[in-house]
Amino acid sequence: MDIAIVGLGLIGGSLLRALTAAGHHVTGYDADPTTRDQASAAGFPVAGSVPTAISGTDLTILAVPLPALPGVLDEMTDYDGLVTDVTSVKRPVRDLAHRLRRFVGGHPMAGKETSGFAATEATLFDGCAWVLTLEPHETDLSDWLTLARLFTTLGARVVPTTAAEHDRAVAEVSHVPHLFAAALALQLEGNPLAGTLAAGSFRDGTRVAATRAELIVAMCGGNKAEVSNALSRLIGDLEQMRRHLESEDLTPTVRRAGDLRRAWPAKSGHIRELTPTVDALLDLGRNGGWVTAISDNGEVEAAGN
């Protein structure tokens, strides 16, 4: 395929490497000239503007932060290729993307503590979950399958889900855990004895508190409603645990949590063929499954529950 990638940070730059290695013709662009120079110096074709980068391509991947998306979309008004993105919230992007002819929202659950083009790796997506949003009566199924095929060839497990279900799930398992980590870390304020006694449970429970504050606030702020709901539910659970400390009733709750944690992550389970309808795909995602491959003749292979 002829592909443009707008934004060459950790995700966009790694995609530039991975898709080029997979035999596609990929052109990159980044608003930052230094990043463009780095990508160029690494041997990749780099354009000097969004219109130049996307001109004549079949697919454009938007790998810029959410606040930068409206500006990029302004430069794509005439584009008739397929468009996807990689941002960590999907409802706001869905709203913005109504301006595009063909769009499927995406979110690769890949990352690491470092960022920028210098941190990019062609293998970043191997084994990661990659959400591709599928909205009944809105997303074109054949566009969805094109992207599912492309990203499964990079080793990703492609998860079909709606933007709304995605945003709720990531609030629970990704955004709120960053706020929990921050709350635990804040206990060290003026409390050096606690810092000395802190060991493994503190180290792991607070690791992501060291993520750049701007990233945490952008993730949570971009998904405000769901983060707020998830926080409310969890605050209720913590209040119940606090009451149960008194009544000695904590054991079943803690045991259930341990069982759930030990069963995670789910095994791939039975690999099977799936008839690619919107309903069948959304059911697969809701049940914790994913697409592992799409064959040349369009057969969909699915795994997990």
158 binds its own copies (CB under 8 A): no
262 binds its own copies (CB under 8 A): yes
Nearest to its own copies of 247, 297 (CB atom): 247
- Binding to its own copies (CB under 8 A) within 270-289 occurs at 285-289
Out of 5, 181, 281, 300, name the contact with its own copies by CB under 8 A: 181
Out of 141, 238, 271, 280, name the contact with its own copies by CB under 8 A: 238
* Smallest separation, CB 253 to its own copies (Å): 7
# residues near its own copies by CB under 8 A: 97
Nearest to its own copies of 20, 84 (CB atom): 84
Nearest to its own copies of 100, 185 (CB atom): 185
Q: Spell out the residues 6+ positions from residue 2 whose beta carbon is closer than 8 angstroms to its own.
A: 24, 25, 56, 57, 58, 59
Nearest to its own copies of 69, 176 (CB atom): 176
Q: What are phi and psi of 47, to 5 degrees?
A: -95, 165
293 binds its own copies (CB under 8 A): no
- Binding to its own copies (CB under 8 A) within 92-151 occurs at 109-111, 128-129, 131
Total residue count of the chain as it appears in this document: 305
Q: Is 131 helix (H, G, I), strand (E, B) or coil?
A: strand
Residue 150, classified by CB atoms within 10 Å of its CB into exposed (0-12), middle (13-18) or buried (19+), is buried
* Smallest separation, CB 268 to its own copies (Å): 11
* Smallest separation, CB 140 to its own copies (Å): 22
Nearest to its own copies of 212, 272 (CB atom): 212
169 binds its own copies (CB under 8 A): yes
Q: Spell out the residues 6+ positions from residue 144 whose beta carbon is closer than 8 angstroms to its own.
A: 104, 132, 134, 160, 281
Nearest to its own copies of 21, 173 (CB atom): 173
Out of 41, 210, 271, 280, name the contact with its own copies by CB under 8 A: 210
* Smallest separation, CB 279 to its own copies (Å): 15
Distance CA 128, CA 158 (A): 8
Nearest to its own copies of 111, 116 (CB atom): 111
Out of 49, 123, 191, 295, name the contact with its own copies by CB under 8 A: 191
Q: For residue 122, what are the β-bridge partners?
A: none
Q: For residue 161, what are the β-bridge partners?
A: 133
How distant is the alpha carbon of residue 52 from its chain centre? 27
Distance CA 117, CA 81 (A): 25
Q: Which of the 8 DSSP states describes residue 101?
A: S
Residue where the block lists tokens 């119940």: 240
Q: For residue 43, what are the β-bridge partners?
A: none
Q: Is 102 helix (H, G, I), strand (E, B) or coil?
A: strand
Backbone angle region of 276, left / alpha / beta, with phi > 0 → left and psi within -120 to 50 → alpha: beta
* Smallest separation, CB 282 to its own copies (Å): 10
Q: For residue 132, what are the β-bridge partners?
A: 106, 160
Nearest to its own copies of 269, 298 (CB atom): 269
* Smallest separation, CB 162 to its own copies (Å): 10
